[in-house]
Each structure stands twice: as structure tokens, then as C-alpha cells.
């Protein structure tokens, strides 16, 4: 199949960007979206043009590195699918595909379709963990955890940190990412000791970098792992409780 | 040739590690902050080591070429992690896990290391649960287990099909806590391009910032490499795109011996490639073999549709050759059997490069719903990638490079042949022998990072108390940086006609054809002449565009592929030298009448560790004898 | 190199600090929203008296001034209620403005290509604009019916007369209908949204939140629109 790509090219963080048009020829419908970009890059290199930089690594939908806006949708048109798992049979011969990087203040553009998502790491550093030193853990089966709770925690923990939630959110908010970690740890017995501090600190660091939630649900729809916005409500509750209970440590 | 000293402590196997922990020199808690440690790589091994060293009070600098420590390829491990908890009372024990691992590795691993691995496996589960890793649970709320290939007990802990992800995120979160606490300085988007050795000791590294192109020197009292394996030498593998061997190869060139490079694992159940431009192979969980039946048509010229091929024209070759294990034969054996039928021209699919994994029987026996319950996610993933519905037509699978048991040679302390340089996780060679069992990679990475290295490194550091680290202005740093800059300038200046990926793909083909699932003398010799020839072409005809001062993935790749050329040569040389078949290393000249691997314990019960000589064509060979005090060497049989 | 999260600045009274956070502002949006919801529902129910008779309706309007009289001075309770409503309105608008400003900062450069929304419905994406329409209408509505300063009315008109005058004027009736449609979208998203913001979340009941939002919107807007239709069709005259 043959396609026309309109790709955002930007030489560096402060350089002006613009859309460039490229033709992708003889693309196999069985190839992945990123392999199609590889092919375009091979052509560019052959022509002596600098190839398109895009984010990718594991190419099996788990590392969370890949991601771009494809025709106005984060990770493209297929639900529950990261960019790397999108395949060309989703498109038709002759299609025009528009590629743009994630856009948000918290995700500054580095080059072309590559953005800096380190703000997510700042959020995790502010409380997305259980404080337990190596070698100080009790036996793993000491605390039974209801299967239902463990399963729900796993639903939240499935987040791959790709940033599609922020990219898709009309407000550039990171509530889905943050709440997935807050909810996972706050619903498990291991996370109780730091429950309210965690909610408070993570929400506040999140708000330094990202917008606020207006409950539109775009994040949930864009999430390749189907993380539910119910977790956002859980986080909002814990944050409120944290404030009202005055549980802040001095 | 020297015989290497593995520094395995004396005493009975069962108490070696505990006794040795007491015997090792300690660094007083208040003195730990006087030591700086560099950890390269933030996968399971690197992140867990950096976090634990930080907790202990050392000053740690952690480096990853990813944009975040959460992206390492450990994240892609699906199945689970083994531990000898015996929660299910089915007779598991530390000794049994130790024994299974030694046997699974085809008696080519070091007893003392493997026993220590089995011992700390239980601590890993405790630690991860305490971190909030959401392992699967039973209705009573206790941890669930499943069984995995190569074991007769249920000892695999799992978190859906995302165990690696959850364990990595646990380690990443522990690391993040130390970053917040200030004990770990995390450097993201930084790739290690050179190791710096002063007076025979590893004292630092030179890195390139992948975003800005800045070259930086870092010095410390010790350097730890947790940079993973080298399966990407094959180009098509289940590795992530950026997995590479540059860190360990640079260390090798500075004096670290490389052990058993030919021990590579080919996983039997990946999705076959669909075209020339495929960039990677995707694994389908091995658990599918529990209910799927593997077959190919008997006739190479079969042209009927799958459903129209009658039973008598199908060859269920695993069930035929291995009646007792059938479709559950171990990884190396299943992989080779698939290669045999595809080489006979009986492969299936448009490129005739796969075998069927058929669920028709399971669906008619258990019902479509029950099958969907067990494997629904995997079926969906398969359909997403291939566009075929595995409920209707059989899956197509084919083996793919997946893990490398070889790596930097390390002693019992996980120290390489360069004092002060340690290697952990897949980057070292130590625990899996010639074949790794399922659910053991996660175990080893975390064992090294959480429970072994943080103690053994103290033994190296303690005598250095009071000595400042080497300054980055030392001449050795000048040389290392000049070397790095020289390489970058060289590749940007070649101005050839072919992309880096083209060369990588060609190299991968040579390696796959001659040093893949089946190896023989003629093929390996051919590879050893073709690789340097291709390398020469690469040096003069590679095209790298763009600049060194910004994000430039071609530039990143070119250095990695250059190192891979040398490593690929060493893999072939090692495979040629090891005149026996064992585990993942199958020399066609050394097989039984039934076509099974034939070990030669008399001549090859040793580790081969290669020393860089300055010329990739003539490395120096060294050996570590493998002495088995506890287990009897027998022939693996899965008939 | 990675920096760590900055330490928090000095502590203020918790309510101030709570409001400083975006989530605190969301709570304000939700709570003031609930006040507004109570108001629009009561307003609609009260106005159902239009269907009884002019006397009943005028009496109802008058009685509102005399709530709790003579326990409290005439008009006090009504003015207190008005005070609460004004405060809620101001809180709602100010918090919304601040949150909007924050969200603009979170993405100062919007996408250059056309967005293709999947989940965000019309109501969710137009909250800002439906809110503004309702606010503008509110001023008009007060000027028209409470203060009677629009040219539609003559001296001596009762409240009932004013309603009829207003609804019989096409422009005025049109604005009323438009504002109610806007209010409908605003209510629909607001009702479901406040559960999320307040963290009132229970997996067993979560699917009722959308149903409740639809039901509440239909009742209030249905009632409100019925008045103008009744006047225009002559059911009320």
C-alpha cells in the first residue's frame, strides 16, 4: 500500500517546527506502524535527508516509550493499542496520515516526534513507592490480600507510563497516570502507612507540571492499557481525606 | 591460557553464602557515604542494585540510555519469577530449585552461584510483595503459583502476563525513593561509551548525552554494569530495539573477560517474521504450549487450506519425537525441532517460515470460552499483530533469539577480571549455564541487584577506605574521551551509501544462519570470514546523517553495531571452539543418533572466558573448570 | 541529570492550602455546583405553579419574600438564600476561571492537526461556553423578570404578566430556550463530573452516575422548556 505522511519536524527544543510531507511506498499491510516509519527513514537516509526521530523501544506494547498523535488521536485509531502495536492493515491504501508529537508543557519537545516525559518520574519520586529497605521485608504470605483487591491493584499497576493520557487530555492533565500509581499502592495493605502522604505529595507534584481534570474521559479512551478513570476518583478521595485529616507529617 | 579463580568460598554448599557473608570485609555505615559507585543500566539488576546501595548509604550514580529508568527491557518479561517458597507443599526446596537450574543449564553453570541464587530467591518474593508488587493471588488471599517448563513443582510467582513489568516498576520505585532521598543521582538519556581503567582498576566511565550530545566523564570507587544481554546481535530478536552490548563490549576491550558468548537461547514460540523489513520478533507466552498442538504438513508441497488437511497428512512432530513431554519439551529442544521441519521445506505461512500451534483440539475439548479465559489476551495480541484469528486458524510460531546466557565473566563476588568492575543480571554469565529455565531471568537479575552485589562490593571497597576516587582529569580519562570522540567523528565522516540498519540486518542474517539454533564447523568458519568482510564494508560504506550535538538515533546505533560486529565474531569463535553440544549451543557434529545434544563432559566441563587481545580475530582463551561437588552429571532426557 | 521534586513551601491554613491546589478548586466547583443544582431544581418545581393560576404563581413569588416571616424579618431568609447563591456562583466562576488558566498553561501550544476526540462528548468540551451562556442569561433573566428593567414590561405588571410578556417575545423566548439547552449540557456533565471530583466512587454504583445525570437534566430542562412552550402554544395565557 502507498500512503502520504504529514510529519511534524522540529530540529530541537527551541527550533521552530513544521509539517513535512513524505510518501511511504510499498508498505506491507502486515508491517507495524513503526516499521512503516523505519521504511520511510531508510528512504530518507538514501536520499541524504536526516531521518525522522520518534520514540520507540520494545515494540511490544509494554515499555511505554512509543507514542505520538496519529490523525488527532494519541496512539492512533485502534483502542487499547500502543503505537508500536498498531499495524498498517488498520489503514487503507492512499490514506493521508498526520503525525504530531505529544504536546503539553510537562512534555517539552526534544526533536521531531520525541518529547521529554521526565515529569512523570518527578511524580513517582514524590511518593509512588512503598518505603521498605531491601532485607527488611516480612514473609510474603504474612498478609493475605483479597484476590479482588490484588486484581484491582494490578489493573492500576498495568500503566506503562507512555503519556497518552496527558497527550489526549484537552487540559494536558496527568490525573490518569498519577492516580494509577496512587490507587495501586493505596489500596494494598503494604501502602497504608504512607497512604495520605502519598496522595498529597503526588497530586501536588503532578499539579506543578500538568493541567487539571475536567472528567472528559479522553485519557481512559487513549490509554493502551485501559486504565479506568475510577482510579482518578479514588485519588481525589484520598487527597481530600489527606487534607481534612491533617495527617501531614511535620 | 590461564585458569581462572572463581573465588568460591570453602565449606559446605548449603552454608557457603551465609558463612561468606560473615567472612567478607564490611564498610561501616558511616563510612559508606565516602564511597561513590557507578551503576550502568537501570533494568531489574541495575535498578535494584542502585536502590539497595543507596539505602545502605553509598553515594550512587545510576545511568540509563532510556528517558526513564522504567523503560528497561526487563519490563517485557511475561511469565513469572521462580522462588523456592514451597507455599504449595509440593516438595519444593532451595536444593530442588538449585538442582533444576543446574540441570536445566545442562551442567555448565557454577554450583556455588546457582545455590546462592536459589537461596535468595525467597527473599526476592518477600521484598517485592512488600514493595506493593501485585502478584496474582488465590481466593484465600495468599500468593498463587504456576508451573513452568523444566520443573515438576509449582514455584513460579506471576503478575498476570506482566511479571517483568511489575518487578521492574517495583525496583524503579525503590530507585525513585533513593533519588528523592538524594542518595542516588540518576542520569537518564546517558549512554556509557567507554570504561576507564587506572592501574588495573575500574574507576569510571565516559558517557554521551543522547539528547544534547554532550560527552561527560564520571569517576567512582567502583563500576557496576547491569546492561543486559546481546541477543540483538541477531538483529531479529525479542529484544527491544535499543538493547545492545556496547557497555560490556567496551569493558571487554578494557580487560574484562567475556565468558561463553556462544550460549544463546532461542525461544520456541515467537511470531514468525512477515517481511524483510520486520524490525523485531514478538514472543507469545510459552504457556500456550500447554494446550496448543504443534504440527506441520507432512508434504512440503502441501497446498490445501489448513482446515482441509486431514489428520493423516499432518505431522505432530514434537508428540512424535518426544512422546512423554510432547508439546512441552524444553525450549532448546522444541526450537531445534521447529528448525528441522522448516529446513525440510515444510514450514507454513506465506514465507514458509513457521509451524502451526493449533488450538482446534483444545477448543473442541474445553470449549471456546474456556480457551479464551486462559489465553484470551494472548490471542488478541496475536490477532493484532498478524491479522489472523487464532480461534479460527492455527497460530504460526517460530523460534527467536531471546536471551543470552553468556556475558562478562564474573567470580563469586560478581566481579569481572578487572578489579572494581562488577557485572550483574544478564550482563554476566554466571548462573544459567548453557540454557536458562523459564522464570529464572527475573530471579537472577533481582538476586544480583538486591541481595548479592550490595554485600560483595563492600569486600572490594573496604580496603580502600580513606582513598579519594580518581579525578576525571586523569590522563586515562583524556584517552577514553578522545577514543569516544574519535569514533563519533569517524562514523559521521564515513559518508557511505547504506544505513546502519542495513548492515545490522545483514550481520544478523549471518549470525542466525551459522551461529543460531544449529551450528557446524563449516558454517562457523564461513561466518568468521563473512563477518570481518561485512565489517570492512561497514567501516567504509555506512551512512550516518545529522550531527553529534542533538538526538541522533543513527549515530547511537552505529557505535552499537560496530561493537556487535566484534562480539559476533567472538560468538562464532566460541561456538567453533566448543566441540560439543550443550543447552542452547547445538553443534550438529555432536548429536546422538536421535538428533539430541551430546555433551562432552570430559573435555568441556569448563567455562570459556575470552580475553581481548587487540585484534578481534585472535582473542586469548582462558578457562574456569566447573567442579561439581553436589550434583551428578547426567544426560538430560525429555523423551 | 534528574532533579528531585522541590520541597513544599511554608504551610498556610489548610483550607487556603487546599484551595491553592487544583483539586481543591475542583472540590469548590463540585460543592458550589451542588448548591446550583439544588437551586435550579427548586426553581423549576416552584415555577410549576404557572400551570395552576396567575394568582397562585404570584402568591408563590410573594411568599418567597416572606419565608419564615414573622420569625425572621421579611425578606431576610430570601436574601440569605440569595447571598449563598451569589457566593456559590462567584466561587464556581472564579474557580473555573483559575482552572481554565491552569489548563491553558498546561498546553500553551495546541495541536496543529485536527483532534479526533473519542470519549470527550459535546457537553464535556463545551462546559466553559455553556457556562458563559448561562451566566449571561442569568443577568438578563434577573433584569427581565426580577428587576423588570427590560422594555417588555409596563408598570404594574405582576410576575406572572412579566413571564408571559417575556415568553411571547420571540427574541426573549429564543434566548430562554438557548440558555436552557446550554444549561442542560452543563448540568449533564456537571452532575456526573462532581462524583469524580469529590471522589464519590463505588464500583457497584458508578454506572448510575451517568443515569442520574441524564435524569436530573431531563427533569429540570424538560420542566423549564415546558413553560415557554406552554406560553407559545397558548396553554398558559
* Reported pTM: 0.96
The residue-averaged pLDDT of B25-41 equals 97
Interface contact C107, partner A, CB < 8 A: yes
Ordered by start, the domain boundaries in chain C are 15-107+122-232
CATH of the domain at B596: 1.20.58.100
Tell me which chains share at least 3 CB pairs under 8 Å with chain B: A, C
Determine, yes or no, domain membership for B236: no
Return the DSSP state at C202. Answer: -
Residue C3 has what pLDDT? 44
How far is Cα B578 from Cα A134, in angstroms, rounded to an integer? Answer: 40
Residue A97 touches chain C, beta carbons under 8 Å: no
Listed as own residue / partner, the contacts of B464-468 with beta carbons closer than 8 Å and 24 or more positions apart are B464/B35, B464/B221, B465/B27, B465/B31, B465/B34, B466/B34, B467/B221
Which three-class secondary structure state does DSSP give residue B143?
A: strand
Task: Judge whether residue C8 has pLDDT over 60.
Answer: no
Q: What pLDDT does residue C44 have?
A: 97
Interface residue of B44, B237, B241 to substitute, partner A, most A CBs within 10 Å: B241
Q: What are the pLDDT digits (tens) for C123-146? A: 999 999 999 999 999 999 999 998
B153: in domain: no
Residues of C in contact with B187 (CB under 8 A): 1-2
pLDDT over 80 at C4, yes or no: no
B331 classed as catalytic:
yes
Residue A150 to residue B502, Cβ atoms within 8 A: no
Question: In Å, how far is B537's CA from the nearest CA of chain A?
Answer: 17
Alpha helices in chain C (DSSP H): 14-20, 22-47, 54-65, 76-106, 122-125, 127-141, 159-168, 170-198, 206-232
Please say if the pLDDT value at position A250 is more than 60: no
**Nearest CA among B76, B80, B43, B42 for reference residue B61:** B42
- For the domain that residue B358 is a member of, what is the CATH number? 3.90.700.10
Do the chains contact at C5 and B180, CB–CB below 8 Å? yes
ipTM for the complex shown: 0.97
Residue B596 banded pLDDT, cuts 50, 70, 90? confident
Helix A195-209 and helix C22-47: axis angle, to 10°?
90
- Are residues C103 and A212, on separate chains, in Cβ contact within 8 Å? yes
CB C106 to CB A73 under 8 A?
no
CB contacts under 8 A, C 11-30 vs A, are 11, 14, 17-18, 21-27
Residue C110 has pLDDT above 80, yes or no: yes
* Inter-chain CB proximity A64 and B176 less than 8 Å: no
Q: What is the pLDDT of residues A48-94, one digit of tens each?
A: 999 999 999 999 999 999 999 999 999 999 999 999 999 999 999 99
Per-residue pLDDT for B150 more than 80? no
Catalytic residue among B71, B116, B217, B331: B331
Counting residues of chain B whose pLDDT is more than 70, the rounded percentage is 99
Of C2, C114, C193, the CB nearest to A121: C2
From the candidates A28, A61, A63, which should be mutated to test the interface with B, based on the most B CB atoms within 10 A?
A63
CA of C1 vs chain B CAs: smallest distance (Å): 5
How confident is the model over B66-80, as pLDDT tens digits?
999 999 999 999 889
| Domain annotation covers residue B342 | yes
C-alpha–C-alpha distance, residues C43 and C49, integer Å? 11
Q: Which of A67, A236, A247 to mutate to test the interface with C (most CBs of C within 10 A)?
A: A236
Neighbours of chain C (3+ CB pairs under 8 A): A, B
Q: Which residue, among B234, B230, B262, B111, has the nearest Cα to B580 in the 3D structure? A: B262
pLDDT digits (tens, 9 = 90+) for B488-543: 999 999 999 999 999 999 999 999 999 999 999 999 999 999 999 999 999 999 99
* Percent of chain B whose pLDDT exceeds 90: 88
* Residue B374 and residue B489 share a domain: no
Cα separation, B429 vs B264, whole angstroms: 11
Q: Report CB contact under 8 Å: A30, B386.
A: yes
Question: Tell me, what's the pLDDT at C9?
Answer: 52
C2 touches chain B (CB under 8 A): yes
Q: Tell me which residue in B279, B450, B545 faces A34 most closely, judged by beta carbons.
A: B279
Residue C24's pLDDT is what?
95
Q: What is the mean pLDDT of chain B?
A: 95
User: In this complex, is the C-beta atom of C4 within 8 Å of any C-beta atom belonging to chain B?
Assistant: yes
Whether the pLDDT of residue A238 is over 50: the answer is yes
Q: Label residues C101-135 b or e (16+ Cβ within 10 Å = b).
A: ebbeebbeeebeeebebbebeebbbbbeebbebbe
Is B275 within a domain?
A: yes
Alpha helix stretches (DSSP H) within B306-400: 317-321, 331-341, 360-366, 368-386
Confidence of residue B148 (pLDDT cuts 50, 70, 90): confident
| B3, B33 Cβ separation under 8 angstroms | no
Q: Is any Cβ of chain B less than 8 angstroms from the Cβ of C3?
A: no
Q: With contacts defined as CB-CB under 8 Å, which chain B residues touch A30?
A: 274-275, 386-387
Domains of chain A and CATH, by start: 3-110 (3.10.20.30), 117-244 (1.10.1060.10)
- Evaluate whether residue B32 is within a structural domain: no
SS3 state at C93:
helix
Check residue C54 and give its pLDDT.
94
* CATH class, C15-107+122-232 region: mainly alpha
Q: Minimal CA–CA distance to B400: which of B576, B587, B272?
A: B272
Which of B129, B376, B450 is best to mutate for the A interface (most A CBs within 10 A)? B129
| Interface contact B502-A42, CB threshold 8 A | yes
Q: Quote the pLDDT of residue C153.
A: 87
Tell me what percent of the residues of chain A surpass a pLDDT of 70. 98
Beta-carbon separation of B180 and C1 below 8 A? no
- Percent of chain C whose predicted confidence (pLDDT) is above 70: 95
The number of folded domains in chain B is: 2
The per-residue pLDDT for A244 is 84
Give the residue numbers spanning the domain of B571: 475-600
The answer to whether residues B489 and B397 belong to one domain is no
Q: Does B388 share its domain with B479? A: no
> What are the pLDDT digits (tens) for A160-212?
999 999 999 999 999 999 999 999 999 999 999 999 999 999 999 999 999 99
* Within-domain flag for B201: no
Amino acid at each position: 500500500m502507498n500512503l502520504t505522511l504529514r510529519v511534524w519536524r522540529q530540529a530541537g527544543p527551541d527550533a521552530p517546527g513544521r509539517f513535512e510531507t513524505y510518501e511511504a511506498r510499498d508498505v506491507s499491510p502486515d508491517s507495524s506502524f513503526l516499521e512503516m516509519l523505519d521504511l520511510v527513514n531508510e528512504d530518507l537516509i538514501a536520499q541524504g535527508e536526516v531521518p525522522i526521530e520518534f520514540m520507540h523501544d520494545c515494540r511490544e506494547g509494554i515499555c511505554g516509550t512509543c507514542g505520538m498523535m496519529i490523525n488527532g488521536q494519541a496512539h492512533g485509531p485502534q483502542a487499547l493499542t500502543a503505537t508500536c502495536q498498531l499495524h498498517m492493515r488498520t489503514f487503507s491504501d492512499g490514506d493521508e496520515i498526520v503525525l504530531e508529537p505529544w504536546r503539553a508543557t510537562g512534555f517539552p519537545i526534544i526533536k521531531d516526534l520525541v518529547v521529554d516525559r521526565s515529569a512523570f518520574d518527578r511524580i513517582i519520586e514524590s511518593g509512588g513507592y512503598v518505603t521498605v529497605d531491601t532485607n527488611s521485608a516480612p514473609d510474603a504470605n504474612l498478609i493475605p490480600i483479597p484476590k479482588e483487591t490484588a486484581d484491582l491493584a494490578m489493573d492500576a499497576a498495568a500503566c506503562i507510563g507512555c503519556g497518552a493520557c496527558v497527550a489526549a487530555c484537552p487540559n494536558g492533565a496527568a490525573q490518569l497516570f498519577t492516580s494509577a500509581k496512587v490507587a495501586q499502592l493505596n489500596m494494598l495493605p503494604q501502602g497504608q502507612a504512607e497512604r495520605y502522604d502519598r496522595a498529597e505529595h503526588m497530586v501536588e507534584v503532578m499539579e506543578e507540571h500538568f493541567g487539571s481534570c475536567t472528567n472528559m474521559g479522553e485519557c481512559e479512551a487513549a490509554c493502551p492499557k485501559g486504565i479506568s478513570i475510577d482510579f482518578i476518583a479514588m485519588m481525589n478521595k484520598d487527597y481530600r481525606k489527606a487534607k481534612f485529616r491533617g495527617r501531614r507529617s511535620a | 591460557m590461564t585458569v581462572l579463580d572463581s573465588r568460591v568460598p570453602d565449606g559446605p554448599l548449603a552454608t557457603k553464602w551465609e558463612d561468606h557473608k560473615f567472612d567478607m570485609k564490611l564498610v561501616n555505615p558511616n563510612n559508606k557515604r565516602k564511597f561513590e559507585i557507578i551503576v550502568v543500566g537501570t533494568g531489574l539488576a541495575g535498578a535494584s542494585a542502585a536502590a539497595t546501595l543507596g539505602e545502605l548509604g553509598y553515594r550512587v550514580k545510576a545511568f540509563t540510555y532510556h528517558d526513564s529508568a522504567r523503560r528497561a527491557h526487563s519490563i517485557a518479561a511475561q511469565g513469572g519469577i521462580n522462588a523456592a517458597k514451597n507455599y504449595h507443599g509440593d516438595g519444593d526446596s532451595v536444593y530442588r530449585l538449585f538442582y533444576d537450574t543446574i540441570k536445566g543449564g545442562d551442567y555448565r553453570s557454577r554450583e556455588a552461584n546457582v545455590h546462592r541464587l536459589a537461596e535468595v530467591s525467597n527473599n526476592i518474593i518477600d521484598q517485592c510483595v512488600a514493595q506493593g508488587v501485585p502478584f496474582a493471588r488465590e481466593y484465600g488471599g495468599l500468593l498463587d503459583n504456576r508451573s513452568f517448563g523444566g520443573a515438576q513443582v509449582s514455584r513460579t510467582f506471576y503478575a498476570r502476563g506482566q511479571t517483568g513489568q511489575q518487578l521492574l516498576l517495583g525496583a524503579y520505585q525503590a530507585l525513585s525513593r533513593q533519588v528523592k532521598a538524594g542518595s542516588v543521582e540518576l542520569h537518564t538519556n546517558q549512554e556509557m561509551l567507554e570504561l576507564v581503567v587506572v592501574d588495573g582498576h575500574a574507576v569510571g566511565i565516559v558517557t554521551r548525552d543522547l539528547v544534547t550530545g554532550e560527552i561527560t566523564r564520571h569517576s567512582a570507587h567502583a563500576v557496576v554494569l547491569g546492561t543486559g544481554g546481546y541477543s540483538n546481535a541477531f538483529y531479529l530478536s525479542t529484544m527491544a530495539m535499543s538493547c545492545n552490548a556496547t557497555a560490556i563490549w567496551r569493558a571487554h576491550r578494557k580487560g574484562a573477560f567475556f565468558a561463553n558468548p556462544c550460549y544463546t537461547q532461542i525461544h520456541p514460540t515467537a511470531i514468525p517474521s512477515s517481511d524483510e523489513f520486520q524490525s523485531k520478533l514478538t514472543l507469545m507466552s510459552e504457556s500456550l504450549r500447554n494446550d496448543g498442538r504443534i504440527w506441520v504438513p507432512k508434504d512440503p508441497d502441501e497446498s490445501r487450506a489448513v482446515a482441509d488437511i486431514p489428520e493423516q497428512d499432518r505431522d505432530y512432530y514434537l508428540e512424535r519425537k518426544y512422546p512423554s513431554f510432547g508439546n512441552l519439551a524444553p525450549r532448546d529442544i522444541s526450537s531445534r525441532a521447529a528448525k528441522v521441519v522448516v529446513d525440510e521445506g515444510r514450514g507454513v505461512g506465506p514465507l514458509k517460515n513457521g509451524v502451526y500451534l493449533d488450538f482446534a483440539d483444545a477448543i473442541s475439548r474445553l470449549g471456546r470460552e474456556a480457551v479464551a479465559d486462559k489465553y484470551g489476551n494472548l490471542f488478541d495480541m496475536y490477532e493484532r499483530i498478524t491479522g489472523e484469528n487464532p480461534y479460527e486458524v492455527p497460530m504460526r510460531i517460530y523460534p527467536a533469539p531471546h536471551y543470552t546466557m553468556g556475558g562478562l565473566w564474573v567470580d563469586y563476588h560478581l566481579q569481572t577480571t578487572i578489579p572494581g568492575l562488577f557485572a550483574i543480571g544478564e550482563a554476566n554469565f554466571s548462573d544459567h549455564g548453557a540454557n536458562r529455565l523459564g522464570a529464572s531471568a527475573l530471579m537472577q537479575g533481582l538476586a544480583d541487584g538486591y541481595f548479592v552485589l550490595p554485600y560483595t562490593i563492600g569486600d572490594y571497597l573496604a580496603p580502600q577506605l580513606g582513598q579519594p576516587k580518581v579525578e576525571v582529569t586523569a590522563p586515562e580519562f583524556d584517552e577514553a574521551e578522545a577514543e569516544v570522540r574519535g569514533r563519533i567523528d569517524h562514523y559521521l565522516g564515513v559518508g557511505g551509501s547504506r544505513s546502519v540498519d542495513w548492515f545490522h540486518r545483514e550481520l544478523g542474517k549471518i549470525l542466525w544462519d551459522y551461529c543460531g539454533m544449529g551450528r557446524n564447523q563449516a558454517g562457523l568458519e564461513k561466518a568468521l570470514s563473512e563477518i570481518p568482510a561485512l565489517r570492512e564494508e561497514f567501516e567504509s560504506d555506512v551512512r550516518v546523517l545529522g550531527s553529534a550535538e542533538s538526538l541522533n538515533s543513527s549515530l547511537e546505533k552505529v557505535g552499537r553495531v560496530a561493537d556487535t560486529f566484534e562480539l559476533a565474531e567472538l560468538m562464532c569463535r566460541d561456538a567453533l571452539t566448543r566441540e560439543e553440544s550443550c543447552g542452547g549451543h547445538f553443534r550438529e557434529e555432536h548429536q546422538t543418533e536421535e538428533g539430541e545434544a551430546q555433551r562432552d563432559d570430559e573435555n568441556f566441563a569448563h567455562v570459556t572466558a575470552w580475553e581481548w587481545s587487540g585484534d578481534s580475530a585472535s582473542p586469548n582463551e582462558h578457562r574456569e573448570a566447573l567442579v561439581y561437588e553436589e550434583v551428578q552429571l547426567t544426560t538430560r532426557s525429555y523423551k | 541529570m534528574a532533579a528531585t521534586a522541590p520541597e513544599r513551601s511554608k504551610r498556610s491554613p489548610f483550607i487556603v492550602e487546599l484551595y491553592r491546589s487544583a483539586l481543591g478548586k475542583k472540590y469548590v466547583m463540585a460543592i458550589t455546583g451542588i448548591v446550583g443544582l439544588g437551586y435550579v431544581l427548586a426553581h423549576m418545581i416552584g415555577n410549576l405553579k404557572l400551570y395552576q393560576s396567575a394568582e397562585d404563581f404570584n402568591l408563590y413569588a410573594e411568599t418567597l419574600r416572606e419565608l419564615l416571616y414573622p420569625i425572621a424579618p421579611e425578606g431576610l431568609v430570601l436574601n440569605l438564600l440569595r447571598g449563598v447563591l451569589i457566593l456559590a456562583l462567584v466561587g464556581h466562576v472564579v474557580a473555573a476561571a483559575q482552572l481554565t488558566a491552569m489548563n491553558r498553561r498546561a498546553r500553551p501550544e495546541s495541536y496543529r492537526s485536527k483532534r479526533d476526540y473519542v470519549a470527550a462528548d459535546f457537553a464535556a468540551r463545551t462546559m466553559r461556553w455553556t457556562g458563559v451562556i448561562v451566566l449571561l442569561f442569568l443577568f438578563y433573566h434577573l433584569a427581565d423578570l426580577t428587576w423588570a428593567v427590560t422594555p417588555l414590561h409596563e408598570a404594574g405588571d405582576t410576575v406572572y404578566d412579566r413571564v408571559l410578556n417575556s415568553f411571547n417575545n420571540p427574541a426573549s423566548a429564543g434566548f430562554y430556550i438557548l440558555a436552557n439547552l446550554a444549561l442542560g449540557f452543563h448540568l449533564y456533565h456537571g452532575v456526573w463530573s462532581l462524583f469524580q471530583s469529590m471522589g464519590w466512587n463505588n464500583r457497584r454504583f458508578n454506572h448510575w452516575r451517568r443515569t442520574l445525570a441524564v435524569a436530573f437534566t431531563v427533569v429540570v430542562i424538560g420542566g423549564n422548556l415546558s413553560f415557554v412552550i406552554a406560553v407559545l402554544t397558548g396553554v398558559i395565557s
